[in-house]
Amino acid sequence: MRMILVGPPGAGKGTQAARLVERYSITHISSGDMLRAAAKEGTALGVQAGGFMKLGKLVPDEVVIGMILERIKKPDCAKGFMLDGFPRTRPQAEALDAAMVAAGVALDAVVLIEVPDPLLEERAVGRRSDPVTGAIYHLKYNPPPAEIVDRLVHRPDDTAEAVNTRVQKYHSETSPIIPFYLDKGILKRVDGVGDPDAITQRIIAVLETGP
């Protein structure tokens, strides 16, 4: 299974990514983690990327795409992969698609988790993370055990204002990739409202039985 996971900030991509990676025994490729790992490894593309990152600049799309192609050829991606965090714009989607076609790699699906904007804000503002285990909780929807509440962290970008800014950026920059993958016939829309287990089942259903 080779897929891309897409959705607005607060849609629950992190939760669903972990479950899907386990179910399909595929590798989760976060673009940010990949860039940092390649820079640390000192690969040719990693050195290029590291130079831009040290200057606080965005890594050019062609470098990121080259690194993605390099990454998905590694043995741990033999059974498939989930790409998370890239592409974020339509030009990136088009360039990635062209590069993957040239490399003989075909995507099976682009999973889009859809959640209304007002709910995205509520989810983010109530979100807390455990710095010890990495687990993510929500004060309303997934309350943490009482004994760990005091150590939980509220991310500074999980305020209503910050979330709204990120959501608007998603709509203006990332949403245009949706019609691109729809035209290619691989977009899978999933209702992201409700219990995480139910959402997981919806994703599995569209992946294994069609839209």
Q: Model confidence over 82-122: pLDDT tens digits?
A: 999 899 999 999 999 999 999 999 999 999 999 999 999 88
Task: Establish if 129 belongs to a structural domain.
Answer: yes
Q: What is the mean pLDDT of residues 40-60?
A: 84
pLDDT of residue 211: 54
| Beta-strand runs (E) in the chain | 2-6, 27-30, 81-84, 109-114, 127-129, 136-138, 187-191
Environment class of 100 (CB within 10 Å of its CB; exposed 0-12, middle 13-18, buried 19+)? middle
177-197 per-position pLDDT tens digit? 999 999 999 999 999 999 889
Catalytic residue positions, numbered: 13, 88, 127, 155, 166
Task: Establish if 59 belongs to a structural domain.
Answer: no
Q: Which residues contact 43 (CB under 8 A, 6 or more apart)?
A: 67, 70
Task: Establish if 37 belongs to a structural domain.
Answer: no
Task: Establish if 72 belongs to a structural domain.
Answer: no
pLDDT of residue 204: 96
Task: Establish if 113 belongs to a structural domain.
Answer: yes
User: pLDDT class for 210, splitting at 50, 70, 90?
Assistant: low
pLDDT of residue 153: 95
Token reading at 177? 């990739």
Whether pLDDT at 44 is above 90: no
Token reading at 144? 């943490």
Q: Which of 164, 1, 169 is nearest to 82 (CA)?
A: 1
Q: Which of 71, 94, 91 is nearest to 2 (CA)?
A: 71
Q: Which residues contact 14 (CB under 8 A, 6 or more apart)?
A: 136
Q: What percent of the chain has pLDDT over 90?
A: 64
Q: Which domain holds residue 8?
A: 2-26+79-209
Whether pLDDT at 3 is above 90: yes
120-144 per-position pLDDT tens digit? 988 889 989 999 998 888 898 889 9
Other Cβ atoms closer than 10 A to 91: 13
Whether pLDDT at 145 is above 80: yes
Task: Establish if 148 belongs to a structural domain.
Answer: yes
Number of domains in the chain: 1
pLDDT of residue 124: 84
Mean pLDDT, the chain, integer: 91
Task: Establish if 176 belongs to a structural domain.
Answer: yes
Q: What is the mean pLDDT of residues 43-69?
A: 87
Residue 81, SS3 per DSSP? strand
pLDDT of residue 186: 96
Which of 103-141 are b and which e, b meaning 16 or more Cβ less than 10 Å from the residue's Cβ? eeeebebbbbbebeeeebbbbbbbbbbbeeeeebbbeee
Task: Establish if 191 belongs to a structural domain.
Answer: yes
Domain at 187, CATH number? 3.40.50.300
